Amino acid sequence: MIPALALTLLAALIIVPLMAIEARPGRSRSLVWPVLLIALGALFLANNLRPEIPLFRLLAAYWPFLLIAWGGLRLAEVLLAMSTDRPLPSGRLTGGEITLVVFICLIGSGMYAANRRFHTIGIGPFGQRGVEIFGEQFDYPLEGQKPAAGVKRILIENLRGNVRVTGTAAPEIRITGRKTVRAFSRSDADQANQQSPLEITVTGDQAVIRTSQERVTDERRISDDLEVSVPRGISLEARGRYGDFDVNDLEGGVDINSDNAGVRLNRIGGDVRVDLRRSDIIRAVDVKGKVELKGRGADIELENIAGPVTVNGSYSGDLEFKNLAQPLHFQSRQTDLLVTRIPGHLRLDLSRLTAANVVGPLRLTTRSRDITIEEFTESLELDLERGDVELRPKSAQLAKIDARVRSGDLNLTLPASAHFDLKATTARGEVENGFGPALKLETRDHGATLSGSVGKGPQISLLTQRGAVRISKE
């Protein structure tokens, strides 16, 4: 999104002054403007038709050649005029042209700095991106096998590429797969292939599977997709930079560390630890141990987890938790959530939290979200800056509820037979009472307080600074 905006801004900043300069009366008929316009048009057309081409990164690296081409064309015009004895074109840059040059330098330098911050630009005539775009793809089959009786831990080091690990009953490590090398020629690719052999080494109870991509100078050109069968009883540790991990049927633990990966885990007997700098999805189903997720990413799906779950980081997508037998602790920059058990489900995204059939004590502190929690048992403590809250306990056996909202409505629906001691306050807004005269309403300034006891029960405290409070009967 940001590169697209930057490209559009760059296009506008270049094309508008170009047109203004070109429209000036008395301007000599130079080849430069039409050629530059055609080149720019072609670039943006390429960006629209083939969005996978990293145009922003290419422009960020190669924009100085725009100035060189501009100067070269003007120089070619001078030489052409000299050779045909026509009057020489003026070499002076007009005020508009100088402004344009300054703009191009400023924007180009800005793009370069932004790009360097997030990606490394290769050195050389085309750099690594050049190989990725202009190079050819060469594939090599991968195969490896080693007895692994007595191995308890396997380490997989694969910088780029997808890895699929499956636990089997056979006491051996068996690998099949494909290596992809992008290079300008077959001999380059062959050389890179030879420099990065697939290695399986077994030492004592530990095995290491290595794709050796780091031995090739420019390791970004190589990617290994591996299908690995391992003895079911092992623990797995995997490290990578870019590529997905898919792990199934292991009795031991799984530890994954990567810069950018999607992770899918199924039927894992031990603890799971996933540390990612970036991810599109982390999915774990049927895990017997604890689950610990760290880093940044988008979606998380956890289902049937027997151990405690800790999620710490920044996740921008949908987070879904189903059937967690032990506590969930979710911590991000804006949210801190602690739930004792989730027999049902809890779903969280950047604007909403919905939960049904959860067991407290439940504690949630967050900034801006609409919150719906249904069928909860045990105590609930909620601290919210902005958003509407809807609470519906599971049964008439209530526990303590404490909800504070700075701006938003608070809706609490209780079973008709519930017993409780209520104090519900809004500093600015109205209060609705569904429990009749047992609760007393006091209005003050722009707000109101509803308080009183219905039978003998736990304390329910609701407070909003701005918004309505509604207490209704099921």
Partner 1 sequence: MNNANGNVSVCQAVTGPVMLILVGTLFALDHFTGYSFSRTWPLLLIVFGLLKLWCRGGSR
| Residues making contact with partner 1 (CB under 8 A) | 61-75, 78, 81-82, 87-93, 97, 101, 105, 108-109, 112, 121, 123-124, 127
- Residue placing its CB nearer to partner 1 in the complex, 51 or 72: 72
Smallest distance from the beta carbon of 66 to partner 1, in angstroms? 7
Nearer to partner 1 among residue 129 and residue 470 (C-beta): 129
Question: Taking the complex as a whole, how short is the minimal distance between the CB of residue 88 and partner 1, in angstroms?
Answer: 4
**CB distance 294 to 274 below 8 Å:** yes
- Smaller CB separation from partner 1, 112 or 315: 112
Q: Using the minimum distance from each CB to partner 1, give the nearer residue, 128 or 158.
A: 128
Please answer whether residues 411 and 390 qualify as being in contact, where contact means their C-beta atoms are separated by less than 8 angstroms.
yes
**HSE-up of 470 (CA within 13 Å, CB side)?**
14
Task: State the nearest-atom distance from the C-beta of 260 to partner 1, in Å.
Answer: 25
Q: What are phi and psi of 175, to 5 degrees?
A: -125, 130
Residue 236, classified by CB atoms within 10 Å of its CB into exposed (0-12), middle (13-18) or buried (19+), is buried
Cβ 30 to partner 1 shortest distance, Å: 11
Spatial CA neighbour of 456 closest among 419, 424, 414, 422? 419
State the minimum distance, in angstroms, from the CB of residue 231 to partner 1.
Answer: 49
Largest interatomic CA distance in the chain: 107
Shortest Cβ 120–partner 1 spacing (Å): 12
Nearer to partner 1, 3 or 343 (CB): 3
395 CA to centre of own chain: 38
Smallest distance, Å, CB 74 to partner 1?
Answer: 4
Q: Closer CB to partner 1, residue 55 or residue 61?
A: 61
Q: Which residues pair with 292 in a beta bridge?
A: 273, 310
Query: What's the Rg (C-alpha) of the chain?
Result: 32
Residue closer to partner 1, measured from CB, 78 or 416: 78
The dihedrals phi and psi of 348, each to the nearest 5 degrees, come to -140, 130
**Smallest gap, in angstroms, from Cβ of residue 129 to partner 1?**
12
Give CA–CA dist 222/230, Å, rounded.
24
Distance CA 402, CA 16 (A): 59
Nearer to partner 1, 98 or 416 (CB): 98
CA neighbours closer than 13 Å in the CB half-sphere of residue 431: 26
- Residue 368 to residue 123: CA distance in whole angstroms: 45
341 near 323, Cβ under 8 Å? no
